[in-house]
Structure 1
Amino acid sequence: MSRLTEGAEAPRLFVALPVVLTLLGLGGCGVSYKSPTVESAAAGATVDVVSLTMTSVVQANATPYTPRGLPAAFFATGGGGAAAASVSLPDPPDPASAPAAPLELRIPPAHQPEPYRIGVGDVLSLTTESESAGVGGVLGANRRQSFVVRDDGAIAVPEIGSIQVAGRTVEQAESDLFPVFVQNQLDPSFALEIEAFNSKRVSVGGAVGAPRIVPIALTPLKLGEVLAEAGGMTVDADDQAAIRLYRDGTLYQIPVSQFFARGDLQQIQLKDGDAIYVDQSYDLDQAQRYYAQQLDAFAERREARQAALLALQTEINLRRGELADRRALHEARGDLGAEPRDYVYLTGEVAQQGRYVLPYQRQVSLADVLLGQGGFPTVTGDPSAIYVLRAAGETRILAWHLDASNAANMIVATRMEMRPSDVIFVEEQPITKWSRALQQAFPILVNRASNAIDG
């Protein structure tokens, strides 16, 4: 190239250089690139920016919101078939979001109390009236001796031998002992009484203060007394809290609200082997384990126990089948978008833009949603500019601002509760805005500069 040509090209470069610098400046200032940010007004509404602190988060959470309960369709289909004749389980409670139907009252048939009959495990006390009427020298010294009824239903009295007492009332057992004392030339002036009642019992568990086994003594045992001995019930008296009584292969239920309102329900007389379970959210697995334990404790014959367990297992399997059908229907409706749900939206410099479905029956925090969806890349996202945008009426938007450049402030994010239609927005880093503006403007600037040089 000749010096003359080089001299001619130089003015062109000097002419193009200001153009390039000007266009770069315009691109860097955002003429070619618009970055989302939080302005003081939007869509005709005023935007108020409020800093999120340990104090202000309480105000943010004051916005009323009750999470959706499980949809009514979750419990709305059949398919389980009829219940087994020998066992009748109560229906599961309706979800919180659906109108809760009161539980059905199923009272056990009246039990006519009978005189207490001595059984295996009971402890009998034999007391003589005079020291000269000793039995084997033991009663002669102490005048009182205790005997445990053995598995064969007998007690072993020294110098007399085994005496059958199981199945007999105290009066009948005394009548049986009288001739035996006479035959053994012992003074028949004695008294027999039950020292400890161990053969007839009622169990109580579930939502009570102290689950336990309550023995049945000489006086009839009543439902209210058993619950009081177990420390009382620890459930609220709402329509879904129930006392369930398992007796002879059948489940009966008494809503807690009716139990407190009706004195006759508190006076229901219990019988040996009754199992009482108090609950508020019916748990089939938990109930099955509980009643199975009680059948283990009270069944006198293995065949009867197995039959009762089989009937109970059959009924529970039927209920589980119904629940599986209901859940499948709910999931299918959810896949089709036919179930109403609440959402929170993520936008800006987050790992995954989109909407987050608020869960059933519990609150979630800003940290749950933001970090649960992958968080935000700190290379491009500005940790000092995290916003929760929330409508406050028709003409006002609250922009709750979290400055997470200090990582300790993320504690506030764990306390910030989400509300339906909240928008979580993370702004770009300042250098990210400039870099993206340059990326969009650079090809255009180079092209224009080239045209200016060539022209």
Structure 2
Amino acid sequence: MFQTDGDVNTELLRAAAAEANRNYKIQSNDVLSIRFYTNKGEILVDPNNFLRQELMQSSGGGGRMGNQQIGQQQERQDYLVFPNGEVKVPMIGFLPVAGLTVAQADSLFQSRFETYYRDTYVYTQVINRRVVVLGATGGSVIPLPNESMNVVEVLALAGGMPANGKAHNIRLIRDIASPMPIVQVIDLSTIAGVQKANLRVMPNDVVYVEPFRRVFNESLRDALLVLGAVTNVLTSYIVIKDIVN
């Protein structure tokens, strides 16, 4: 599975990793978690309004009040980025976000909500970023909670390096659905191999840990399958022969 003769398109991998370092760009079909707050996010640091009550008391109750907070403990709201790159947000409608970093999207949402609320604070996360781990680990989908995760962290989340896995032959595959996927063979068995490899992962990467082949077990299994098929044929032949006779 995923056999290669050494590294494939290593330079493209390095270029893609360098681009990733400039921050993840929102894409179509991403799912965004967007939280909106007023008064510069006051509710985040003063969830029980203690600070506001103290200010009101010290000013004799005549302190200037800002906009009413958008919920005391606001639940997470998830929004899908449509194939055209737009996301539909309550009150402000459709906004183009594909190609923007999360920080740029925050600024865009904030500027639009300023029409309705004063000193808006917006916090956005991309919650569907993930990496697929296959091979000796058995297979799992690992969410990426941040933008700086590496292969070692992903393998740890997948259960660690399995005993039947080849630590010297791990493949990091990027753009697997494209006509020319980017592949890097990673050697985690030595410090030199770790230092040489580009371990940075990106959303939708595939990490494949090649398992050790147990030739004897595989050959025995195949032989048993053939023997079983031959036995079934002979049994059927004998039964039919007895019926005929």
Tell me what 1:90 maps to: 4
Q: Distance in 1 between matches of 2:35 and 2:4?
A: 47
Q: Residue 155 of structure 2: SS of its match in structure 1?
A: helix
Within the alignment, does 1:172 sit opposite 2:99 as a pair?
no
Match of 1:264 among 182, 195, 201: 195
Q: Deviations over 1:397-422 (max 9, x none)?
A: xxxxxxxxxxxxxxxxxxxxxxxxxx
Task: Report if aligned partners of 1:124, 1:149 keep a CA contact under 8 Å in 2.
Answer: no
- 1:270 Cα deviation (Å)? 1.7
Structure 1 residues not aligned, in runs of 5+? 1-87, 92-103, 284-359, 365-455
Written as runs of structure 1 = structure 2, the 5 A alignment for 1:250-261 is 250-258=182-190
Q: Match for 1:128: what amino acid?
A: Y
Match of 1:181 in 2: 113
Is contact 1:244-1:276 (8 Å) kept? yes
Q: Does 1:203 align with 2:203?
A: no
Aligned to 2:81: 150
Cα pair 1:205 1:276 within 8 Å, conserved: yes
Aligned alpha-carbon RMSD (Å): 3.7
Amino acid at match of 1:271: M
Change beyond 3 A, Cα 1:134–1:282: farther
Report if the CA contact (8 A) 1:134-1:143 is conserved.
Answer: no
Per-residue deviation at 1:232? 1.2
Q: Could you list the runs of 5+ residues in structure 2 that have no partner in the other structure?
A: 44-65, 176-180, 221-245
Is the contact between residue 166 and residue 210 of structure 2 (CA under 8 Å) also seen in structure 1?
no
Corresponding residue number in structure 2 for 1:6: none
Q: Which amino acid aligns with 1:197?
A: I
Q: Deviation per CA, 1:37-67, whole angstroms, max 9, x where unpaired?
A: xxxxxxxxxxxxxxxxxxxxxxxxxxxxxxx
Counterpart pick for 1:161 among 76, 93, 98 = 93
Check conservation: 2:165, 2:211, Cα contact below 8 A.
no
User: Could you report, residue by residue, the CA deviation over 1:270-301 in whole angstroms, capped at 9, with x for unpaired residues?
Assistant: 22332111123479xxxxxxxxxxxxxxxxxx
Q: Aligned with 2:114: secondary structure?
A: helix
Aligned to 2:31: 122
- Where do residues 297-336 of structure 1 align in structure 2 (5 Å cutoff)? none
Q: Displacement of 1:269 after TM fit? A: 0.9
Aligned residues: 180
Aligned counterpart, 1:214: 142
* TM superposition score normalised by structure 2: 0.57
Distance 1:158 1:257, change over 3 A: closer
* Alignment partners' CA distance in 2, 1:105 and 1:236: 22
- Once the two structures are TM-superposed, the CA of residue 220 in structure 1 deviates from its matched residue by 1.6
Match of 1:385 in 2: none
Kept after mapping to 2: 8 A contact 1:116/1:218: no
Task: State the alpha-carbon separation in 2 of the partners of residues 177 and 168 from structure 1.
Answer: 12
Counterpart Cα distance in 2 of 1:270 and 1:177: 28
Distance in 2 between the 1:107 and 1:146 partners? 39
Give, in whole Å, the separation in 2 of the partners of 1:127 and 1:256: 43
Rounded Cα–Cα distance in structure 2 between residues aligned with 1:182 and 1:156: 17
Q: 1:190 to 1:250 in 2, by over 3 A?
A: closer
Query: Conserved in 2, the CA contact under 8 Å of 1:106 and 1:252?
Result: yes
Instruction: Kindly indicate whether the alpha-carbon contact (under 8 Å) linking 1:202 and 1:215 is maintained by their aligned counterparts in 2.
Output: yes
| TM superposition shift of 1:225 | 0.9
Change (3 A) 1:192 1:178: same
- For residue 122 of structure 1, report the CA deviation from its aligned partner: 2.4
- TM-score scaled to structure 1, two decimals? 0.33
Distance 2:97 2:108 in 1: 8
In 1: Cα distance, 2:34 partner to 2:119 partner: 15
**Structure 1 residues 238, 122: closer, same or farther in 2, change over 3 A?**
closer
Q: Which amino acid aligns with 2:35?
A: L
Give the deviation of 1:207 after TM superposition.
0.6
Instruction: Give the aligned partner of residue 236 of structure 2.
Output: none
State the SS of the aligned residue for 1:252: strand
Match of 1:419 in 2: none
CA contact (8 A) 1:224 1:266 kept: no
The 8 Å contact of residues 89 and 251 in structure 1, kept in 2 or not, is answered as: no
2:233 counterpart residue number: none
Bigger Rg, which one: 1
Deviation at 1:213, TM superposition (A): 1.8
3-state SS of 2:189 partner:
helix
